[in-house]
Amino acid sequence: MSLSSPAVQPAAGPGARRSSAGLLQAWLPKLVLAPSIAISLFFVYGFMLWTFILSLTSSRMLPSYEFVGFAQYARLMVNDRWWVASTNLVVFGGLFVAICLALGLVLAILLDQRIRQEGALRTLYLYPMALSFIVTGVVWKWLLNPGLGIQAMVRSWGFESFRFDWIIDPDMAVYTLVIAAVWQASGFVMALFLAGLRGIDDSILKAAQLDGASLPRIYWRVVIPCLRPVVFSAVMILSHIAIKSFDLVVALTNGGPGYASDLPATFMYAHAFTRAQIGLGSASAMLMLGGVLAILIPYLYSELRSRRHG
Amino acid sequence: MDNVIRRRTFGARIARFSLYAVLIVAALFYLLPLAVMLITSVKPMAEITPGTLLSLPQDPTLAPWVKAWGEACTGMRCEGVGVYFFNSIAIVVPAVLISTTIGALNGYALTKWRFKGSELLFALMLFGCFIPFQVVLLPMAQTLGWLGLSSSRAGLILVHVIFGIAFTTLFFRNFYVAVPTELISAAKLDGAGFFRIFWRILLPVSAPIIVVSVIWQFTQIWNDFLFGVAFSAHDTQPVTVALNNLVNTSTGAREYNVDMAAAMIAALPTLVVYVLAGKYFVRGLTAGSVKG
C-alpha cells in the first residue's frame, strides 16, 4: 500500500467505514500471498531441513530418527559409486555446458547474418527443448544402439570397421549423455544468444567498422564481450540442468553399463527409493543442493552487484 | 546492421554459400532424431535390420502406433500408453490451471500492493525455482502418505502446483512490474478493491503472460519424470513413466517400431504446443534469465 500516502487517505471514504472494509482491503494482498508463502516455507525450506535431518540419521528402508552425526556423509565419501557419479557430473556438466555455449554462439552468429528462412531454422534448432528428456533418451538409445543405429548404418555404407558403440562402453557411456543433452539444449542457448545479439546497439558496430576492423575481429573484440551477461545466464541455466539430470540418464543408459554413467541425481534416487538407504540418499541430495548453491550464490551476487552499479 | 557479409564478390559468395551449408547441416543434426523416430514408428519389424536407420519404409504401417497406444506392455500390464496419456492429461490440466491462477494473484499482489518485506517474500519464493528436487523427494513422499494422497493423481497435481508456483509467480511478477501504476492508483482512489482492480485492469492485459505461463507449466508437467516415477502407482503413472517402462520391459522380442511410436505419442502434445506457440515457449524459457 505504498501509494495511499497519508495525504490522500481521507479521500478513500468516511473513517467509520474504513475500519472494517478498509482493513480487509489492506490485508487482502497479504492474505492472497500467505498460502504461497506458507507452502514455500514448508515444502521448500522445511523439506530441505527435513532432508538434512534425515541425512544425519541411520534411516534405511523407513525414516528413523536415530542420529549418527555425519556418518552418512563419511560413507558417501568412501563410496565408489558416489565418486563415479560425481566425477561423471563434472565431465558431463563441463562438456555439456561448454559445447552448448560454443554451438549456441556459433549458430546464433551465423543466423544473425540476414538469413532467408531464419524463422524456420530457428524453430528446427529449438524444438528438442520442448521434448521430455525421456523421449530424448529413448530416441538416442536407438540411434546409439551399435547393432541397429548409427554404427550399423555407417557400416552398411561400406565402412566395415566403423565403431560407435559408446553406449555399451563403460569408459565412454557418459559421453552419450553429453551428445543427447547437447542435442536437446543447444538450440535454447542459440535462442538466448540470438536475443542478446539483437539487443546490441548498432552504433557500436558501425564505429568499429569505420575504424576498419575486420568482421571476425569485430565479433571477437566487440560483439562477444557484449554478450557476457548472456553467457552468464546460459552457464547458470545449463549447469542447473546438468545437476538435475535424472530422466535422461534413466532413459538413455540407466546409469550403465554397471554404474559407469551414474549421476548424483540417479545415485540419490537409487539409494533413497530402491536400495533402502534413505540416510545415504538424503546425504547425497544435500550435496546436490550444495552444488546448486555453489553456482547460484556467486551468480545472484554478481547479478545484484551489476544491477546496483548500473 | 552492417556487420553482415554483403558485397557480392566471388569470395563473399563462397562465404554466403558455406554459411547456408553450415546452417543446413546443423538443422539436419537437430532433425535427424525426430525423422528417425517417425520413420521407424511406421516400419514393420521386418524392415528394421542393421543399416536401415534412414531408409524410408517400403511398406508403411500404423500398426506400431496402434500397438503402442493400446496393447504394448509397460511392466506387468499390456494396455499400451493410451491410458497413461490420459493420466498425464488428468494431472496436467488442473495443475496448470491452479498454478497459473495462484501465480497471477501472487504476481499482482507483489507488484501492485507492495508492502514492507514483499520483495523479501518474493526472493524467498523464488528460491523454489532453483532447488534440485531430489532434496524434497523423501519428505514429500512421507507428507503425501500422511495426507492420504500417496500414489494418487491428486497427490501428483498437488506436487506440481507446489513446485510450479515459484515459476508462475516469477512470470507474472516480472510482467506486472511493467504495467503502469497510474491507472491502478486512480482506481484505488475510486475505492476499487483488490480483486476488482485485478479483474478489470490487470487481467485484460495479461493474455500474453498467461499464455507463457500455461505453456511453460504444460511442458514442465507433461515432461516431468522424477515426480511421476517417485509418487505414482501403476494405474496413476504419467505417460513419461509409462514410456520408460515400455522401452525397458524385457518380456518378448524388442519391438523398436512400437518403442518409437510410443515416444512419438508422449512427445506429440508438447511438440504441437511448440509449433503452434513457439514464440511464447521461447519467452517462457528466457523469462528470468535475459530480463533478470
The CA distance from A89 to A92, in Å, is 5
**Is there a contact between A142 and B256 if contact means CB atoms under 8 Å apart?**
yes
Nearest chain B alpha carbon to A240: B130
The CA distance from A29 to A2, in Å, is 12
pLDDT in tens, B30-60: 999 999 999 999 988 888 877 778 888 888 8
Instruction: Give the confidence band of B23 by pLDDT, cuts at 50, 70, 90.
Output: very high
Q: How far is CA B48 from each of CA A171, B34, B265, rounded to the nearest angstrom? A: 29, 17, 20
**Is there a contact between A285 and B225 if contact means CB atoms under 8 Å apart?**
no
pLDDT of residue A3: 37
pLDDT for A66 beyond 90: no
**Is there a contact between A130 and B48 if contact means CB atoms under 8 Å apart?**
no
pLDDT of residue B140: 94
**Is there a contact between B33 and A126 if contact means CB atoms under 8 Å apart?**
no
pLDDT for B100 beyond 60: yes
**In percent, how much of chain B has pLDDT > 70?**
94
pLDDT for A96 beyond 90: yes
pLDDT of residue B169: 92
Q: What is the mean pLDDT of residues B183-193?
A: 86
- Domains of chain A, first to last: 6-55 (no CATH), 75-308 (1.10.3720.10)
pLDDT of residue B7: 54
pLDDT of residue A1: 33
The mean-pLDDT minimum among A24-28, B61-65, B215-219, B267-271 falls in A24-28
The CA distance from A242 to A258, in Å, is 21
**Is there a contact between A114 and B181 if contact means CB atoms under 8 Å apart?**
no
pLDDT for B292 beyond 70: no
* Chain centroid to CA A166: 24
Nearest chain B alpha carbon to A243: B132
Cell of B10: 566471388
Q: CA of A33 to nearest chain B CA: how many angstroms apart?
A: 6
Question: Where does CATH 1.10.3720.10 sit in chain B?
Answer: 82-286
* Residue B268 or A65, more confident: B268
pLDDT of residue B104: 95
pLDDT for A5 beyond 60: no
Instruction: Give the confidence band of A299 by pLDDT, cuts at 50, 70, 90.
Output: confident
- A-B CB pairs within 8 A amount to 287
Q: How far is CA B213 from each of CA A104, A227, A257, B174, B261, rounded to the nearest angstrom? A: 25, 27, 39, 12, 29
Shortest CB distance from B130 goes to which of A113, A125, A292?
Answer: A292
**In percent, how much of chain A has pLDDT > 70?**
92
In whole numbers, what is the pLDDT of chain A averaged over residues? 85
Query: Grid cell 512419438 — which residue?
Result: B264
The domain over range B82-286 is classified in CATH as 1.10.3720.10 = yes
pLDDT for B18 beyond 80: yes
**In percent, how much of chain A has pLDDT > 90?**
38
Q: What is the pTM of this model?
A: 0.88
pLDDT for B5 beyond 80: no
B204 contacts: CB under 8 Å, gap ≥ 6: none
The mean-pLDDT minimum among A262-266, A280-284, B47-51 falls in B47-51
Contact (Cβ atoms closer than 8 angstroms) between residue A92 and residue A174: yes
pLDDT of residue B290: 36
pLDDT of residue B84: 93
The CA distance from B216 to B193, in Å, is 30
Shortest CB distance from A152 goes to which of B23, B50, B282?
Answer: B50
- DSSP state at residue B57: P
pLDDT of residue B210: 92
Shortest CB distance from A133 goes to which of B40, B162, B225?
Answer: B225
In whole numbers, what is the pLDDT of chain B averaged over residues? 87
pLDDT of residue B8: 66
pLDDT for B288 beyond 70: no
Nearest chain A alpha carbon to B196: A25
Cell of B221: 508437467
